[in-house]
Amino acid sequence: MTVNVLFVCLGNICRSPTAHGLFQYHVDQAGLTNNIHVDSAGTGAWHAGNPPDDRAQSSALEKGYDIGGLRARQVTAADFKKYDYILAMDKQNLIDLRVMCPTGYHGVLALFLEAAGLKEMLEVPDPYYGGQEHFEHVIQLVERGAENLLARIQKEHTF
C-alpha cells in the first residue's frame, strides 16, 4: 500500500518544500520510497512553478538536504481525494485548507507539528519576511517534525 503525505504552507517556496525535502530524505533512508509518496503545495498560487526560495535552499543545503529540484504548486480539490495526511505549517494554512476540505474526507488534516507530536511548537512560523535565522529555525522544527511524523506513520501502517 502507498500512504500519501502532503505538506502545505502559503507560498510553497519556504516551509512546505523544506518539509517535503526533509521528510522525503527520511522516507528514503527508511527504505520506504515506494510506500510513502510525498508532495507539497501552497494555499496561494503566486509562486507556482518556482523553485524554493534561495534562503530555504541554502539553509537546507547547509544541513545536507538538496531541495532545489522542487517546484511550487497550489493545493487543489483533487488533493483531498489522494492524500491521507494533509499537514499545514500554520493555523491560517489549516483554516484555508478546512474551507476547501470536502465533507467526508477520511484523512488526517492537521497542523504538521501537532500531527508529529511536537509539544513545544504547534506552528512552523513564516520565515518569508525574516532573516536567515528564521529559515534556520524552520529547518530545526521541520527536522524534528519529519522524524516524529515518520515514526507515527510507521506505527499507523504496515508496509
H/E stretch holding 4 reads strand 3-9
Question: Strand locations in 75-138, DSSP E?
Answer: 85-88, 108-111
Catalytic position from the list 9, 14, 79, 84: 9
Nearest-angstrom CA–CA distance, 69 and 58: 13
Of 96 and 126, the one with the shorter C-beta distance to ligand 4NP is: 126
Of 46 and 159, the one with the shorter C-beta distance to ligand 4NP is: 46
Shortest CB 81 distance to ligand 4NP, Å: 23
Shortest CB 75 distance to ligand 4NP, Å: 12
- 126 labelled catalytic: yes
Shortest CB 9 distance to ligand 4NP, Å: 3
Residue nearest to ligand 4NP as judged by C-beta position = 11
Let me know: does 30 contact 111? Beta carbons within 8 Å: no
- Separation of first and last alpha carbons in the chain: 7
Nearest-angstrom CA–CA distance, 138 and 91: 16
Catalytic position from the list 15, 53, 90, 96: 15
Rama region for 66: left / alpha / beta (φ>0; ψ in -120 to 50; rest): beta
Of 11 and 32, the one with the shorter C-beta distance to ligand 4NP is: 11
Residues at the contact surface with ligand 4NP, assessed by CB under 6 A: 9-15, 46, 126, 128
Shortest CB 16 distance to ligand 4NP, Å: 6
- 98 labelled catalytic: no
Of 32 and 40, the one with the shorter C-beta distance to ligand 4NP is: 40
C-alpha cell at 8: 502545505
- Per the DSSP assignment, residues forming a β-bridge with 41 are 8
- 15 labelled catalytic: yes
- Active-site residues, by number, are 9, 15, 126
